[in-house]
Structure 1
Amino acid sequence: MILEVAILQVKAGQTEDFEQSFRQASQIISGMKGYISHELQCYLEVDNQYILLVRWQTLADHTEGFRGSAEYQEWKQLLHHYYDPFPTVHHYKTVESSQSL
């Protein structure tokens, strides 16, 4: 399993619209090959900041499958205009966990 991590800084005054758009975008990503799950969490101490965690079966499911798809173009149209600056995305693999995966 691969964990995609993106810190999202949403433009001031647009968090409600962003969250509504993200609900729509969630339907897109959840139907992609290799998708396992995702979480969007808001940062309590920093206004307008979120963290997006997406679990994929493989790195290629995200970087090639999702990002190379027509669905990704729809995802971009729904979400990318909310970000300033544009987020950096990192990928992680589990080394140790107390949860059964």
Structure 2
Amino acid sequence: MAVLEHALLPVRSGEGSAFEAAMTKARPLIAASPGFISLQIRPPTGTGQPYLLLVEWESLADHRDGFRQSGRYRKWRALLHHFYDPIPGVSYFGEPL
């Protein structure tokens, strides 16, 4: 059963362009992870709103026990996490009804 990871990314004001450039560098890190299916990053339509992150995984374990425990995640975090205030929470969802 595929799992959809969801996070709202509160990028600091004025740092959207730098965040988007860093995300371009970070994409291959997550895409190389076992169980990765797809990634969408959607920009906000208004000032002060978060970016939307949607990642589809083959299983929850592929994200939490695979990617999150890997060296690729440490590089992802170094590229992206300094843009967030606060650090976003992550939610998971099952197959569509």
TM-score when normalising by structure 1: 0.91
Structure 1 equivalent of residue 15 of structure 2? 14
Specify the code of the residue in structure 2 equivalent to 1:35.
F
Q: Superposed, which structure 2 residues align to 1:19-38 within 5 Å? A: 19-38=20-39
Specify the code of the residue in structure 2 equivalent to 1:38.
L
Q: How many residues align?
A: 96
Secondary structure at the counterpart of residue 69 of structure 2: coil
Residues 1:69 and 2:60 are matched in the alignment = no
RMSD over aligned CA atoms reads 1.0
List runs of 5+ in structure 2 lacking aligned partners: none
Find the aligned partners of 1:25 and 1:77 in 2 and give their Cα distance: 9
Shift of 1:95: 3.7
Shift of 1:49: 1.5
Structure 2 equivalent of residue 59 of structure 1? 60
List runs of 5+ in structure 1 lacking aligned partners: 97-101
Give the % identical residues: 39
Secondary structure at the counterpart of residue 26 of structure 1: helix
Secondary structure at the counterpart of residue 75 of structure 2: helix
Secondary structure at the counterpart of residue 67 of structure 1: helix
Find the aligned partners of 1:73 and 1:79 in 2 and give their Cα distance: 10
**Alignment check: 8 A CA contact 1:7 1:88 kept:** yes
TM-score when normalising by structure 2: 0.94
Structure 1 equivalent of residue 84 of structure 2? 83
Shift of 1:22: 0.2
Structure 2 equivalent of residue 45 of structure 1? 46
